[in-house]
Structure 1
Amino acid sequence: MDAEQESQANPYGMDEECRNCPELCETRENVVHGYGDVGADFVVIGDSPSRGADASGVPFTGEDERGLLDVLAAVDLCEDPDAAEPELAQTFLTYITRCRHPERPATDEEVRTCEPYLNSEVRMINPELLLPVGQRPLEELAFEYTTLSRDELDIGERHATTIRGRGFEILPMIPPAEQTDAERTAFLEHFSDVLGQDYRQTKGRRGR
């Protein structure tokens, strides 16, 4: 944890009363901004808040998304995945959209409206690795951070591999609730190999 960081929850003080998407203002409980270590080497990016995250205001919490914290705990990046506010190491959790609609996924317009939040978090944290969870987060990273088109990025094919991006490496993950045991094992083995590399010696030295 950065010595100057006061809280893991929304550490950059982003607008918690955001009303940029009027329809979502009527259905959400919380605007779920990023959570975690502002000195993180790894930024995990999901699609949009689940019911549990919407209720708690903390990304990837609740039974419907709990598997992501279990994965992080397995590689010693999350101390207590059952906690209401889990303690994370070198990790920041966020979404491409910040509000939940209980009956549908976010629209393309809603994703575009939220882009400044995500881009600001990634820019300020300046991580070494981006971990998109699911197809849509992977596609949203394609234009900004890779030379690949969306058509070349299939989450099933790219799961547990490393994509060399522009300034970042990207490690895609099938959502844990949709993974087979073999896919979970493959991801944990690959991520453990990645963690064995000493990113901390190079953090901040590369030109972006």
Structure 2
Amino acid sequence: MDEECRNCPALCETRTQVVHGYGDVSADFLFVGERPTASADELGVPFASPEPSSDDDGADARSGTSLRRMLERLGLCDSTSPAEEPVLENVYLTNLTRCRDPDRRPTDEEIGNCDPYLTAEIRMINPEILIPVGERALRELGMEYTTTPAGELSLPADHATRIRGRGFELVPMVEPRDQSDGQTQAWLEAFVDLMASDYRQTKGQRDR
């Protein structure tokens, strides 16, 4: 993983640092967002969020939730660990892109430039479950790892649902800062059920 990557010149000018994946390298659950948050750009840890949680793009959060809080409720993150070094169990965090522009979403070209990093992480971690966080991540992972036409995958329709694909099962979520309280609870309940199931038997199934 190149800490000084120069593949996207425009992002090199706006980023604080390159934010590669972070977490348990033997994890069953791999979360993939679109791009680093503002706090992630500062701290170097994907999905980092300020406390209290807020929309780091400048708007008020609807429910004030964050991925870290959700992982804490699931027992997958130590609530006492620091934001810059969260202690994660059975979880790995990453993004489609490694660098942040504070004023815009990444382009298709930038996502393509970062794809080798994401592919390398997925192969290294070899998770059982992929969790696309947000519409863009669902579209990109859905095209690559399921047999479902990309046009049939969308959020919030597929939020907290289990989608079987090529080698992995996907459990998409609406971006935490955009979730209603009901959506947060629905995803947590679905994931508790998944963790209690024989999810390790899903690998290799190729139907939805």
TM interval, shorter chain, is 0.7 to 0.9
Work out whether residues 27 and 101 of structure 1, in 8 Å CA contact, stay in contact via their aligned partners in 2: yes
Matched, 1:29 2:28: no
The residue identity in structure 2 corresponding to 1:69 is R
What is the identity percentage for the equivalent residue pairs of Structure 1 and Structure 2? 53
More RCO (CA 8 Å, sep 6+): 2
Structure 1's consecutive aligned runs of 4 or more residues displaced over 4 angstroms after TM superposition are 205-208
Matched, 1:197 2:184: no
Give the root-mean-square deviation of aligned CA atoms: 1.9
Work out whether residues 133 and 175 of structure 1, in 8 Å CA contact, stay in contact via their aligned partners in 2: yes
Work out whether residues 29 and 92 of structure 2, in 8 Å CA contact, stay in contact via their aligned partners in 1: yes
Q: Structure 1 CA distance, aligned partners of 2:158 and 2:66?
A: 19
The residue identity in structure 1 corresponding to 2:144 is E
1:148-184: CA deviation from partner (whole Å, max 9, x where unpaired): 1221111110001000011000000001111111111
Work out whether residues 41 and 199 of structure 1, in 8 Å CA contact, stay in contact via their aligned partners in 2: no
Matched, 1:127 2:127: yes
- What is the Cα deviation at residue 82 of structure 1? 6.2
- What is the Cα deviation at residue 197 of structure 1? 1.8
The aligned counterpart of 1:3 is none
The aligned counterpart of 2:99 is 99
Please give the residue correspondences for 1:13-162 in structure 2 after superposition, counting only pairs within 5 Å.
Answer: 14-63=1-50, 64=55, 67-80=66-79, 83=82, 84-162=84-162
TM-score of the aligned structures, taking structure 2 as reference length: 0.88
- What is the Cα deviation at residue 199 of structure 1? 4.4
Q: Structure 2 CA distance, aligned partners of 1:192 and 1:161?
A: 12
- Higher mean alpha-carbon deviation, 156-165 vs 77-86, is at 77-86
Q: Structure 1 CA distance, aligned partners of 2:160 and 2:142?
A: 17
Work out whether residues 165 and 205 of structure 2, in 8 Å CA contact, stay in contact via their aligned partners in 1: no
Q: Structure 2 CA distance, aligned partners of 1:186 and 1:142?
A: 21
5+ residue gaps, structure 1:
1-13
The residue identity in structure 1 corresponding to 2:126 is N
- What is the Cα deviation at residue 144 of structure 1? 1.1
Structure 1 21/102 Cα, relative in aligned 2: closer, same or farther at 3 Å? same
Structure 1 172/116 Cα, relative in aligned 2: closer, same or farther at 3 Å? same
The aligned counterpart of 1:171 is 171
Q: Structure 1 CA distance, aligned partners of 2:17 and 2:163?
A: 33
The residue identity in structure 2 corresponding to 1:161 is T
Residue 121 of structure 2: SS of its match in structure 1?
helix
5+ residue gaps, structure 2:
57-64
Say how many residue pairs are matched.
Answer: 193
